[in-house]
Structure 1
Amino acid sequence: MSGKKEEIILIGAELIHEYGYHNVGIKKILDVAQIPKGSFYHYFKSKEDLALCIIDFHINRTKAMFSSVDESKDGLKEFFNMFFNMLRSMDYKKGCPVGNLILELADEKETFRIRLLEWLRFLENGIGHVLKKENIESPESKAAFIVATFEGIIMNTKLEKSDKYFKVFHDHIFNDLLK
């Protein structure tokens, strides 16, 4: 990937995370990136094409974060803490970038829904693999529950502007569900 294309994806990802897909036009992205319109179309066919690249960026970032921790319950705690620390650093604003895209785009186009589903399946499969390795009963079902709970926790955290739900998540997931 070229440096300029990557820069456009990063800027687009940040702007869309902050304002939403429908509230960010190509012009805004180009203005922030300080590039002419023709350059955008050199790298992307359309705003939808850019959105798919942004989803891929988030999938790859999540995969990198997941692969950076041990395949254990402690590794899962560390993985979730990376997300929670990211939310703290944003003063509990914006929420989960992929969760936001799911809410905004999953019903818009099937290509968006399928690509966003890749992120969900990666998390469920990765967590399920760890739970199976840790001999946790019903690993696939519990992994799906953990991911759904995680997204709900992020949404509540955004709403309350507090990390009290991080403790709730850890207490119930790691002390009750996965004991």
Structure 2
Amino acid sequence: MNKREAIIMTAARLIHEQGYHHVGIKSILDELSIPKGSFYHYFKSKEELGLAIIELYIKDTSYGMSQSDNTIAGIKQFFNIFFNRLVELELKRGCPFGNLVVELSDENESFRLKLLELYNVMTSWITDILKGEAIEYPDEKAKALFAAFEGTMLASKLEKDPIHFEIFNQYTFPAIIQAK
């Protein structure tokens, strides 16, 4: 991993733990023992770093989709990868994407558009699968599945209870797929 990647990965972890506004460039660089000048060699600003972090999430999400079957079961499997990550984090931190949407989308158009790009990558993939499976209203159902997924992540974080993942898999997911 080169220095630029190390900065992105460390910043992504710290921002996921503490929030974008609570993490300063100094704390990122201190953790890596990198001088401040090195940061500005790779990034013009904290905003540019934030956009690079969202790009990392887009690549990670795209990779996860490429590793999942292009079936309805594959969509569920994909969501469960993220549910399992949250369980590994002891139901702390929540979804990094969802956290950034809440924190940044109203105050910075560049962030909102980059986050929208990630949303569109996910919902397009789901829509394509639903179309391939001849599911009615694939666009709307893809958006509903995504919204339910994010809501499940939030509820699990709030209650510190993974039961929401079971509810999503047993009731929410099938209800959205079968809805007319």
* Shorter-normalised TM range: over 0.9
Q: Distance in 2 between matches of 1:161 and 1:83?
A: 15
Task: Give, in whole Å, the separation in 1 of the partners of 2:107 and 2:174.
Answer: 38
C-alpha separation in 1, matches of 2:173 and 2:104: 32
TM-score (normalised: structure 2): 0.96
Q: Secondary structure at the match of 1:178?
A: helix
Q: CA RMSD in A?
A: 1.0
> Sequence identity, in percent?
49
What is the deviation of 1:34? 1.1
Partner deviation per Cα, 1:110-158 (whole Å, 9 max, x = no partner): 1110000001111111111111111111000000000011101100000
Whether the 8 Å contact between 2:144 and 2:176 is mirrored in structure 1 is no
Instruction: Tell me how many residue pairs correspond in the alignment.
Output: 178
Q: Partners in 2 of 1:174 and 1:15 — Cα distance? A: 31
Within 2, Cα distance between the matches of 1:161 and 1:178? 27
CA distance in 1, matches of 2:109, 2:176: 34
Structure 1 CA distance for aligned equivalents of residues 8 and 106 of structure 2:
22
Give the Cα–Cα distance (whole angstroms) in 2 for the partners of residues 154 and 12 of structure 1: 22
> Is residue 124 of structure 1 aligned with residue 123 of structure 2?
yes
Rounded to whole Å, the distance in 2 between the matches of 1:16 and 1:174 is 30
Matched, 1:46 2:21: no
Indicate the residue corresponding to 2:143 in structure 1: 144
Q: Distance in 2 between matches of 1:135 and 1:116?
A: 29
Single out whichever of 13-22 and 72-81 deviates more from structure 2.
72-81
SS at match of 1:93: coil
The equivalent residue for 1:59 is 58
Separation in 2, partners of 1:108, 1:128: 29
Q: Aligned partner of 2:166: which letter?
A: K
Cα displacement (A) at 1:108:
1.4
Query: How far did residue 90 of structure 1 move?
Result: 0.1
Q: Distance in 2 between matches of 1:176 and 1:148?
A: 14
Aligned residue type for 1:73? I
Shift of 1:167: 1.1
1:9 and 2:8 aligned: yes
- List structure 1 segments (4+ residues) > 3 angstroms apart after TM superposition: none
Q: CA deviation at 1:63?
A: 0.6
2:92 alignment partner in structure 1: 93
Partner of 1:56, secondary structure, is helix
Gaps of 5+ in 2: none
Question: Does the residue aligned with 2:168 lie in a helix, a strand or coil?
Answer: helix
Output the CA distance in 1 between the equivalents of 2:39 and 2:53: 14
Number of the residue aligned with 2:108:
109
